[in-house]
Amino acid sequence: TLIRMDAYQAKADKQHLNEFPNVVGYVRDLYHIPGLKRSVRWDHLKIDVESKAFDAVTEAYTCPFACRALAARNLKGLEDVIGLSVAHPIHQKTKPEDDNDTHVGWAFVDPETTPTVVGPNGKEYLTEGCIPDTANQFKFARDLFEKTDSTPRKFSVPVLWDTKTQTIVSEQSTSILRTLDSGFSDLIPSNVHLYPEELRTEIDAVNNGIVAEITMGFFKMMFADSWAVFESIAKLDELLAKQRYLVGKGVTEADVRMFHTLIRLDSSQHKTDKHHLTEFPNVIGYMRDLYQMPAMKRTVNWDHLRLGAESRGPDVVVEGPFVNFTGSHDRSQLV
């Protein structure tokens, strides 16, 4: 178990086995026993990692963090390797048979058998665009967590699930993105490298800089009526006047993060807002460039984004998006 856990880990994981010296010594001790050492084939372990039937779960496209993982799956060409379950954007009671359990969260439904669901507000919603959990037949994301650990916790998405061992590989979007980016290269070769080693310092700096500024600014705009985010977007517009992508000459993790924040910012805006993304031509071109990549376009579901926004309150009216994402752009001329 331990040797496979170590083999399956990614560099970006929050914790690693090598942080525990006594465990490391224990594993080394056993590994040096000739009979046990001969039972380990590192090349076979690698193949097992790359051929495992994972089930990547995203939450019906409404969460930018979950869609980062989905973007990695698509951009790397892993649709036939990594399964996908898509939860409905409207939360459901996750223990409907228990009157004392009031938790509501992500629910999996099959549009073919359940064309509509009723939200906590009593309103009926279409389920088109949802994908049921075919790997486990679970009805809720909560079921994934409680199958592996009954400790009370937040039942979040995305989740990278190992269907062989029936356990959660990761529930952290960055870890999942980087695992999908680097863990399947021998099985599915790809020219896309979202977190290449030679650019990691730059990508980390951009993630912690302009990407974080705009992401946090977006949430402040949504919940605190603050327009400071547009100061950061003005800086982004200047940057994008000189380069096609945020780091390097191809799409990286930084672009995936930025795109899924910007597209939600635009779709949540109103005509009467003080500022709009449409005031920034380079940002518009950048968003069009990314959206028109088929793999990225498949990470956007406008109906689910609208339902997710409307679920925040009875007075929420969705007027966006305002950007014409299918319009022309000349981003390919930039280095």
Per-residue pLDDT tens over the stretch 130-182: 999 988 899 999 999 999 888 878 899 999 988 878 888 888 899 999 999 98
Percentage of the chain modeled with pLDDT above 90? 54
Are both 160 and 203 inside the same structural domain? no
Are both 138 and 227 inside the same structural domain? no
Judge whether 287 and 325 are in contact, CB under 8 Å.
yes
Average pLDDT over residues 15-41: 78
Confidence bin at 84 (pLDDT 50/70/90)? very high
Are both 228 and 309 inside the same structural domain? yes
Judge whether 314 and 228 are in contact, CB under 8 Å.
no
Q: Any bridge partners for residue 167, and if so which?
A: 162
Token pair 């100061």 in the structure block, residue: 231
CA distance 181 to 118: 37
Whole-structure pTM value: 0.82
Confidence at residue 53, expressed as pLDDT on a 0 to 100 scale: 55
**Count of structural domains, the chain:** 3
Are both 28 and 121 inside the same structural domain? no
Average pLDDT over residues 242-255: 97
Whether residue 47 lies inside any domain: the answer is no
CA distance 88 to 85: 10
What mean pLDDT, rounded, does the chain reach?
87
Whether residue 190 lies inside any domain: the answer is no
Omega before residue 321 within 30° of 0, cis: yes
**Of the given ranges (15-29, 256-270, 295-309), which has the lowest mean pLDDT?**
15-29
Range of the domain at 246: 197-333
Are both 118 and 79 inside the same structural domain? yes
Are both 288 and 317 inside the same structural domain? yes
- E-strand ranges in the chain read 54-58, 83-86, 92-93, 104-105, 116-118, 124-126, 159-162, 167-170
CA distance 190 to 34: 38
